[in-house]
Amino acid sequence: MKDIQELPERSRPVAEALTNAGVSGRIRELPASTRTAAEAAEALGCEVGAIANSLVFMADEQPLLVMTSGRHRVDTALLTKRLGKEKIRRAAPEEVREATGQAIGGVAPVGHPAPVETVVDLTLQEYPQLWAAGGTPRTIFPTDFSELVAMTTGTVVEVN
């Protein structure tokens, strides 16, 4: 495992947040892209559903991070209703960067400049080990459902 200072710049705040949250898994830098759930699953040799995708939406024009299983899509109409929001839409790349400090394809569940409201997909509890992005499209770290909910202080909800 790399020392925090050896990680890519965008992964360092993530590594610090993981340490501060008492997360035992450490960020790994992979030689291939993990930008998509399919790429990450292939690189790690796991099921695509065990990839905890970090998707950023705008909920009533405020950032909303949805941690969802790589095996399905988010139903924004259903999520809007379940969260009691007026409107949820996909965030534009610049909105993702502003809210998280990270680019699409590498958004981590933690390590953002300011807290982001987070939802954790109930489906993720089906996997004993999850993998989440570490701040760049080539960094990733292991976790589990309980740890993911705790580190993000996320609301557990079905998103599809």
Q: Over the stretch 1-39, which tens digit does the pLDDT of each residue have?
A: 557 778 888 999 999 999 999 998 899 998 877 778 888
pLDDT in tens, 45-97: 899 999 999 999 999 999 999 999 998 889 999 999 999 999 999 999 999 99
pLDDT of residue 4: 79
What's residue 2's pLDDT?
58
Report d(CA 130, CA 142) in Å as an integer.
6
pTM of the predicted protein model: 0.92
For the chain, the helix, strand and coil percentages under 3-state DSSP, each to the nearest 5: 35, 25, 40
Q: Using CA atoms, how far apart are residues 112 and 133, in angstroms rounded to an integer?
A: 13
Model confidence pLDDT, tens digit, residues 90-120: 999 999 999 999 999 899 999 999 999 999 9
Contact 109, 151 (CB under 8 A): yes
Query: Contact at 8 Å (CB) between 113 and 101?
Result: yes
β-strand pairing of 51-59 with 88-90: antiparallel
Residue among 93, 99, 111 nearest 27 (CA): 111
pLDDT of amino acid 117 = 97
